[in-house]
Amino acid sequence: MEGEHNWNGENAEESLSHQDGSETRKTLRKHLGNWFRSHRGLTVLLVLSVLLILALVVAVAVLSERLREIPVTPGAPKFLTCPEAWIGYNRVCYYLSRDEGTWEQARDRCSELGASLAVLSDKEMGFLFRLNGNLDYWLGLRRRGERFQWVDGSSYNSSLEVLGNSECVYLADHKLRSENCSKQLPYLCSKPQPHLY
């Protein structure tokens, strides 16, 4: 009998504690429900915050996975963009001035910008012909005796003819023309696109 009584006592305690836990959970649910109902704006904000955090976690995971897929050639330089108001093409930055000057003034102004009057290949000339519109720009090309020479010391060896018999060369109407160096024109500067290793 005693064992039976003990067993009934344990069941009673267990039943009581189960009822107490059930009551506690009901009370907690009731209070939480009341709190959420009375703070709807905060509840919505809390739910939106949780959703936003989850979306950010997913976005960061996707982005880091994509970044891992981008091949990086070891030792290859990483090129940066050109400065504001400069145009990048073929790893060279170009500056088309708005102000005018003589050829020498243009050379000095480009130098102040950490560049030189533009030295161009045939490919770059094609690009600039499409870009320059109706304006004329001084280039870093000048007559030296019977030949033309770029400001970097290299010889002009393009098949594109320089029109005119003057000393300094400018880009005009999809052609290269020569003019007296004292003429006031806008100018075209160029410099290599900066890079990091």
pLDDT digits (tens, 9 = 90+) for 24-78: 877 877 776 776 677 777 777 777 788 878 877 776 666 666 555 544 444 545 5
59 and 9 inside one domain: yes
Residues 174 and 126 in one domain: yes
Say if residue 177's pLDDT is above 50: yes
Spatial distance between the Cα atoms of 122 and 115, rounded to a whole number of angstroms: 20
Same domain, 96 and 47: no
Of 190 and 22, the structure prediction assigns the larger pLDDT to 190
In a shared domain, residues 64 and 82: no
Q: How many domains does the chain have?
A: 2
Q: Do residue 60 and residue 83 come from a single domain? A: no
- Return the structure tokens found at 99: 């102000």
Gap between the Cα atoms of 127 and 175, Å rounded: 12
- Unique residue bearing structure tokens 């267990």: 14
Question: Whole domain around residue 39: which residue ranges?
Answer: 2-69
Q: Fill in the DSSP letter of residue 164.
A: S
Same domain, yes or no, for 47 and 115? no
Over residues 117-166, the pLDDT tens digits come to 998 887 777 777 776 566 789 999 999 988 999 999 999 988 888 999 99
